[in-house]
Amino acid sequence: MIGFIREWVDDRTGLGKVIDAMLLEHIPGGARWRYVWGSALAIVFSIQMITGVLLMTAYSPGDTTAWSSVYFIQYEMDFGWLIRGLHHFGSQTMVVLLGLHMLQVVIAGAHLKPREVNWWLGLGLAGVVLGLSLTGYLLPWDQKGFYATQVATNIAGGLPVIGQFIQKVVVGGPAYGNHTLTRFFGLHVAILPGILIAMLIAHIWVFRRHGITTPRNATGEGWFWPDQAFRDMVIGLIILGIMFGLVIYGWGNKIEPTANADGVVPERSFYDKIAHAGRDGRGANLDAPADPNTPYPARPEWYFLSLFQLLKHFDGLTGTVFIPGGIALILFLLPLLGHGKLRPLVHIASVFLVLALLGSAAYLTGQAWVEDQRATTLEKKPYSTLKDVVAKNRYDADKAGHFQDEMEAADKRAKRAIQLASDGIPAAGPRYLLRNDPMTAGKKLFKDKCATCHNYRDPEPEKPSEEWMNKEPTASDLTDFGTKEWIKGLLTNADDPKYFGLSHLKGGKMTKEMDSKRGKVPDPQKRQALEAELDSIAEWLAGHPRKEVPTEGDKSPFAEGYRKFVSECISCHNYRRAPGEEIVSGPDFTGYGDAEWIRGMIVDPAGKTRYGKNNRMPAFDDLSKPGGELVKERLKLAREDAIEKAGDDADAKKKAEKAFDQTHKIMNLSDLERELIVRFMTHDGRVVFGGETIGGAPLKK
């Protein structure tokens, strides 16, 4: 059957002859292992094509989608980590194989007459491969690619006369953005691979015209199929194996499994563990989403490190253009020099030249690496030797330490971004994962806006000295606010600096009430019963109660707690006040300490259901949002009202004015910022979805 189909197709297309022509290549001197490098490059390129097309089916080039789609490939799609990992390490393998192939070619003298054109085609191909690496590096739109590629395009921008124009065209505008990605994507998946394939066909065509460059003493006979093909395939599989090893070793951030609604971390199936091994850190790394708001110590991919290091030695165009361009020019001219009697000389010189180039690149790469390492890393062998060889006097431990600090901070951000992304990414883009993360952005806002009066103990301070956010607090310590311990502490000693001790409430009604309660029960046993009652009230309040007032027969723990609350607290604190019921002097305790309660405290601390006339905290409201003016207007009217109510007496008016101003200060805090603070305080780590504040295109002038 197969034979019949083969004959039928061959009869109508002549395909068999084409295949024969491709496979039946005569190899004088026989097949050899040293001939494999060109084929190895072709094999890895085919892996890049396959994995690249697969990635293309899930990648979305765009400022708000690129990182997210790569995240999705890496962490959510079946075997996405493997496909992306192979593509990532495939590109590095290509560069290594290019070096080996080039070395093999000059050792064989295969760049000399009559194969000059093919040498040039090879150089062109190498350039296209490096171009593919460069364009691909940007596509994940993570911090690393974003900042590293800035450097590359700015080098282009530094070219004389046309540099800035070229840069603008390549970048797709004056700054990085959507069109940078679409253009780099177009280059990476269509234009450069198209050029590469065309040049590769020409490369093989010209190669077949002249045949393989055999060693002078070669004897024996061989054919590409199957003698050389077998060797090529073995090497191809070994390379694929190494690439697999690198991918499986894992370079990414893990996603910590989270518990479901029942508090159980779901067990993962065997298939899930393999198909989504990215969640265990397997595969290539993905840095935090690109964000011009956050610095990043940019370094290029390792095979560009030598060029990067060159810029530290030579400034201006010398390092960026003249030296690399000069090397390219020498390589280009090399085969033309090897004519006639000069041939053996140029042959040997070529080998030395390529070895010297690879050696210099290795030297500069090592130097670049050493300059970025901590002094402690370089103490150990073999790194200490490497340091002595490549960077003895250049090494600056302080600078390296700063770099590593920055790198560690960046890694932490990457890990956090990926963890947050696993719950879903805002449509406004992945950079809002970190910008709107309660545990980082919320903490910072709390520090800037709240810890100017309040105090707070940071469980994860950047420096140990910053553990306490406020060195000179003037209001309560909100560490663990709303917990049983915090509330019991307040009930035990309200005048402690942690509670009212620093404010005007010191020695106030709350303190007096509690003292009087305790004063009434000097008997130690009864006193113990009172403390136990206060304990259970604290526990009840720490549950942020919001349920309806229980009926009389209700025996639930909630109802029991409510009754204790009523017996001790209801004279000063409301709970689910019915319409018409008196508003008492202390804050309303419905939902005490939960997000909504805190929100009310932030927006309207002088409100009747919060601290009323006892308030000294500024209200924080969104004055910049549309309608923000109304908030100020309302406050102004309320002030006028309060003064007017004081009657005609000038002193009374002054007093009322002062009282109002004391209780009603207002400061700007956007709705988004407020939610970040609320979630930080309630230990709710979910990203606040909000994107940019409400706005529109600027009005036309």
* Interface contacts to another protein, rule CB under 8 A: 21, 24-26, 47, 50-51, 54, 57, 65, 68-69, 71-72, 76-80, 82-83, 86, 208-209, 211, 221, 223, 225-227, 229-230, 233-234, 236-237, 240, 244, 275, 421, 423-427, 689
Cα–Cα distance list, 197 to 40, 89, 124, 415, 590 (Å): 15, 20, 12, 38, 70
| Residues 278, 252 contacting (CB under 8 angstroms) | yes
| Residues 70, 52 contacting (CB under 8 angstroms) | no
Distance separating alpha carbons of residues 16 and 2, to the nearest angstrom: 14
Max CA separation in the chain (angstroms): 121
Q: Which residues contact 4 (CB under 8 A, 6 or more apart)?
A: none
Unique residue bearing structure tokens 């679409």: 182
Instruction: State in angstroms the smallest separation of the CB of 21 from another protein.
Output: 7
Which of 21, 667 has the CB closer to another protein?
21
Instruction: State in angstroms the smallest separation of the CB of 424 from another protein.
Output: 2
Q: At what angle do helices 671-681 and 595-603 cross, to 10 degrees?
A: 130
Backbone angles phi and psi of 189, in degrees to 5: -100, -15
Instruction: State in angstroms the smallest separation of the CB of 40 from another protein.
Output: 13
Collapsing DSSP states into helix, strand and coil, what is residue 27? strand
Cis peptide before 114 (omega within 30 of 0): yes
Instruction: State in angstroms the smallest separation of the CB of 210 from another protein.
Output: 11
Distance separating alpha carbons of residues 681 and 701, to the nearest angstrom: 43
Instruction: State in angstroms the smallest separation of the CB of 235 from another protein.
Output: 10
| Residues 373, 403 contacting (CB under 8 angstroms) | no
Which of 51, 455 has the CB closer to another protein?
51
Instruction: State in angstroms the smallest separation of the CB of 532 from another protein.
Output: 37
Which of 83, 569 has the CB closer to another protein?
83
Distance separating alpha carbons of residues 272 and 276, to the nearest angstrom: 6
Which of 68, 253 has the CB closer to another protein?
68
Distance separating alpha carbons of residues 212 and 232, to the nearest angstrom: 15
Unique residue bearing structure tokens 């109508």: 12
Which of 47, 677 has the CB closer to another protein?
47
Distance separating alpha carbons of residues 34 and 231, to the nearest angstrom: 9
Which of 171, 288 has the CB closer to another protein?
288
Which of 112, 243 has the CB closer to another protein?
243
Instruction: State in angstroms the smallest separation of the CB of 83 from another protein.
Output: 6
| Pairing assessment for the beta strands 666-668 and 619-621 based on DSSP bridges | parallel
Which of 541, 672 has the CB closer to another protein?
672
Instruction: State in angstroms the smallest separation of the CB of 6 from another protein.
Output: 15
Which of 86, 148 has the CB closer to another protein?
86
Instruction: State in angstroms the smallest separation of the CB of 69 from another protein.
Output: 6
Which of 156, 678 has the CB closer to another protein?
678
Nearest to 105 by CA among 206, 198, 193, 194: 206
Instruction: State in angstroms the smallest separation of the CB of 16 from another protein.
Output: 13
Which of 110, 361 has the CB closer to another protein?
110
Collapsing DSSP states into helix, strand and coil, what is residue 666? strand
Q: How far apart are the first and last CA of the chain?
A: 77
| Residues 283, 252 contacting (CB under 8 angstroms) | yes
C-alpha count within 13 angstroms, C-beta hemisphere, residue 308: 21
Angle made by CA atoms 173, 176, 181, in degrees to the nearest 5 = 95
Q: Which residues contact 195 (CB under 8 A, 6 or more apart)?
A: 128
Distance separating alpha carbons of residues 597 and 588, to the nearest angstrom: 9
Looking at this protein, which amino acid is placed at residue 107?
I
Which of 418, 441 has the CB closer to another protein?
418
Which of 25, 496 has the CB closer to another protein?
25
Distance separating alpha carbons of residues 309 and 495, to the nearest angstrom: 62
3-class secondary structure per residue, 66-122: HHHHHHHHHHCCCCHHHHHHHHHHHHHHHHHHHHHHHHHHHHHCCCCCCCHHHHHHH
Instruction: State in angstroms the smallest separation of the CB of 546 from another protein.
Output: 14
Instruction: State in angstroms the smallest separation of the CB of 107 from another protein.
Output: 23
Which of 23, 652 has the CB closer to another protein?
23
Which of 102, 243 has the CB closer to another protein?
243
Cis peptide before 28 (omega within 30 of 0): no
Which of 239, 305 has the CB closer to another protein?
239
Instruction: State in angstroms the smallest separation of the CB of 384 from another protein.
Output: 40
| Pairing assessment for the beta strands 221-223 and 26-28 based on DSSP bridges | antiparallel
Backbone angles phi and psi of 621, in degrees to 5: -135, 165
Which of 275, 375 has the CB closer to another protein?
275
| Pairing assessment for the beta strands 619-621 and 221-223 based on DSSP bridges | unpaired
Nearest to 120 by CA among 326, 322, 329, 372: 329
C-alpha count within 13 angstroms, C-beta hemisphere, residue 261: 0
Instruction: State in angstroms the smallest separation of the CB of 498 from another protein.
Output: 37
Distance separating alpha carbons of residues 462 and 468, to the nearest angstrom: 11
Instruction: State in angstroms the smallest separation of the CB of 54 from another protein.
Output: 6
Nearest to 94 by CA among 140, 55, 38: 38
Instruction: State in angstroms the smallest separation of the CB of 218 from another protein.
Output: 15
Instruction: State in angstroms the smallest separation of the CB of 478 from another protein.
Output: 28
| Residues 478, 681 contacting (CB under 8 angstroms) | yes
How is 346-368 classified by DSSP, letter by letter? HHHHHHHHHHHHHHHHHHHHHHH
List 457's β-bridge partners, or say none.
Answer: 468
